[in-house]
Amino acid sequence: MTPGGPVTGAAAVEQLLELFDLRRLGDTTFLGTSPPVGPLRVYGGQVAGQALVAAGRTVDPSRHVHSLHGYFVRPGDPTEPIEYQVENIRDGRSFSVRRSVAVQHGKTIFFMSASFQHPEEGLDHQTPLPPDVPGPDEVPTMTERLARYPERLGIWGQIPRPIDVRYVGEPGWVRPGDRPAEPNQRVWMRIDAKLPDDPLLHACALTYASDLTLLDAVLSTHGEVWGPGGVAGASLDHALWFHRPFRADEWFLYDCVSPSASGGRGLATGRMFGPDGRHIASAVQEGLVRREQGRPPQVG
């Protein structure tokens, strides 16, 4: 890390673990915080990851999360703690279902349903890893890419970066005109230091990462970019399915496409593949996508 630059590596991952270490206020109520330096609103992957932490802490540890579905209702205030309220919807013989609600200033900013399953055997098939994708060591690091666009950094050049992100194509934050239209947004990712051996923690880390580049696929289809001269966006909802065991601190390819965009909204889908080619997770997100007019769009 350079002086005045972002916190990266083990130090950034330690801060991420602190974000996931929610304070228990009661049997089903927890309190989370945001990084001391960050964007003007709470990062969506953070609130989704924390909501999953809260839900998971009320479930038998032998049951692992297999899906979550969440809605971003209001922008979160990063200067204020977030209260997570968990409702036990059902505990069955094989599945447990929870509803986790994030509240600030007495109002809901995000809510999520999450389902947990006792491990079992069954049919097994998957789509293959996309062919001819360069590996993470064959594409530029985030630091190398950012060096070309110092004027695009802003607050994002100062916030902690616990994820090693390596774009296969051009990122969504380059200068207008520097990004060709491409049908896929492909990114290699991994948490930038070793995590404890806790499946829930790895699922929360993957949830955190899954919101980072998914909507980029909407812009990639048109060769558009985020920020001045481009568009502004905000997540509206987010769904994630966990298919197979994985470690979030090992490389995974996030292969994202956008099947549709209309009405100021864009839909993106993503598949995550482990380093051995296993399809470990899938994500779907719809986001608000509007022409940049000097301030980020607000949900609602």
CATH code matching the domain that covers 9-117+136-291, chosen among 2.40.160.210, 3.30.9.10, 3.40.718.10, 2.90.10.10: 2.40.160.210
> pLDDT at position 3, please?
42
Q: Which of 25, 75, 77, 31 is nearest to 51 (CA)?
A: 31
Q: pLDDT tens digits, residue range 36-48?
A: 766 678 999 999 9
Residue segments in the chain with a per-residue pLDDT below the cut of 70: 1-6, 37-39, 152-159, 293-300
Question: Which tokens belong to 276?
Answer: 């051995």
Query: pTM of the predicted model, to two decimals?
Result: 0.93
Report the C-alpha gap between 47 and 32 in whole angstroms.
9
> pLDDT at position 240, please?
98
Report the C-alpha gap between 237 and 140 in whole angstroms.
30
Catalytic machinery residues:
211, 235, 285
What residue spans define the domains of the chain?
9-117+136-291
Contacts within 8 Å (CB) and 24+ apart, 97-104: 98/55, 98/58, 98/59, 99/55, 100/51, 100/52, 100/54, 100/55, 101/51, 102/47, 102/50, 102/51, 102/76, 104/74, 104/76, 104/77, 104/80
> pLDDT at position 285, please?
98
> pLDDT at position 120, please?
95
